[in-house]
């Protein structure tokens, strides 16, 4: 079976209580071909100290982690861009987003995702399924005849955790076209939508996999979650992203 390299992007802000669980869920994986890019977005709590303590406690895994600390908050989308610009990544490598306050629920998560891509070599994207603090789960298979922007509005977003895509798609995204709002700023909210809309459009439904097994735990009730502190901004950004020009499928 082919073994893909994974790049796990872990974004952190004030998650001192949860980041250790997140990182432990990574090093517990039965699959070893991965690198983790952690970006702390200028946390005001002890998140950085917890991360440094964790890395010191597991020297065997230290070379698998790249830890970046921001001097100022720049937001999720800007951090995701920063993470993927930091490393030289091959086209066939798989990018996985794992928030610092979430975790992978099984030690076979990466192994399962790798098998899905190996069994379906033409596929470029995967998403779903997850457990959550509130027992809410929005993921379901992408229905035939429905565009990505219709899932932004009016149907509602379904392309959630765990989200992965082949890095080759990232190289086709026009950042000026996709990542900036009407004021010329990088989208401050709905970063997952800003990234996944072009990724999904480029891949197309026929090269996108829905994984029904729950392999991700999403703490969706935390007061620091975007939909709690920036709900109106999240809606504004999502609707602007919806109206961005559609990409042609590769």
Q: What is the pLDDT of residue 185?
A: 97
Strand partners, 132: 218
Per DSSP (E only), the strands in 13-147 are: 34-40, 65-69, 94-97, 103-104, 125-127, 130-132
pTM of the shown model: 0.96
pLDDT in tens, the chain (250 residues): 899 999 999 999 999 999 999 999 999 999 999 999 999 999 999 999 999 999 999 998 989 999 999 999 999 999 999 999 998 999 999 999 999 999 999 999 999 999 999 999 999 999 998 999 888 889 999 999 999 999 999 999 999 999 999 999 999 999 999 999 999 999 999 999 999 999 999 999 999 999 999 999 999 887 666 656 678 999 999 999 999 999 999 9
Cβ contacts of 231 within 8 Å, gap of 6 or more: none
Rounded CA-CA distance 248/193 in Å is: 17
Angle CA 201–146–243, to nearest 5: 60
Instruction: Say how many C-beta atoms besides its own lie within 10 A of residue 213's C-beta.
Output: 15
Where do the domains of the chain lie, and which CATH numbers do they carry? 6-242 (3.90.550.10)
Q: Residue 162: is the preceding peptide bond cis (ω within 30°)?
A: yes
Alpha-carbon torsion, ordered 64, 90, 7, 135, to 10 deg: -160
Residue with tokens 């603090």: 133
Q: What are phi and psi of 12, to 5 degrees?
A: -130, 140
Q: What is the pLDDT of residue 227?
A: 58
């Amino acid at each position: 079976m082919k073994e893909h390299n994974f790049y796990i992007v872990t974004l952190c802000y004030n998650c001192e209580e949860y980041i250790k669980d997140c990182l432990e869920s990574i090093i517990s994986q039965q699959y070893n071909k991965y690198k983790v890019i952690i970006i702390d977005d200028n946390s005001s709590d002890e998140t950085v100290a917890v991360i440094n303590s964790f890395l010191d406690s597991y020297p065997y895994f230290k070379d698998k982690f790249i830890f970046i600390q921001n001097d100022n908050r720049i937001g999720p989308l800007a951090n995701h861009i920063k993470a993927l610009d930091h490393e030289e990544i091959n086209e066939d490598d798989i990018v996985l987003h794992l928030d610092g306050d979430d975790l992978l629920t099984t030690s076979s998560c990466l192994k399962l995702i790798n098998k899905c891509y190996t069994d379906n070599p033409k596929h470029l994207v995967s998403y779903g399924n997850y457990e959550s603090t509130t027992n809410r789960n929005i993921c379901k298979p992408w229905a035939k005849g429905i565009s990505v922007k219709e899932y932004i509005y009016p149907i509602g977003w379904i392309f959630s955790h765990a989200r992965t895509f082949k890095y080759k798609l990232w190289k086709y995204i026009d950042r000026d076209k996709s990542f900036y709002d009407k004021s010329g700023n990088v989208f401050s909210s709905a970063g997952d939508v800003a990234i996944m809309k072009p990724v999904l459009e480029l891949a197309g439904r026929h090269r996108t996999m829905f994984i029904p097994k729950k392999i991700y735990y999403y703490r969706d009730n935390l007061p620091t979650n975007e939909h709690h502190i920036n709900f109106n901004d999240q809606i504004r950004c999502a609707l602007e992203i919806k109206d961005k020009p559609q990409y042609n499928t590769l």
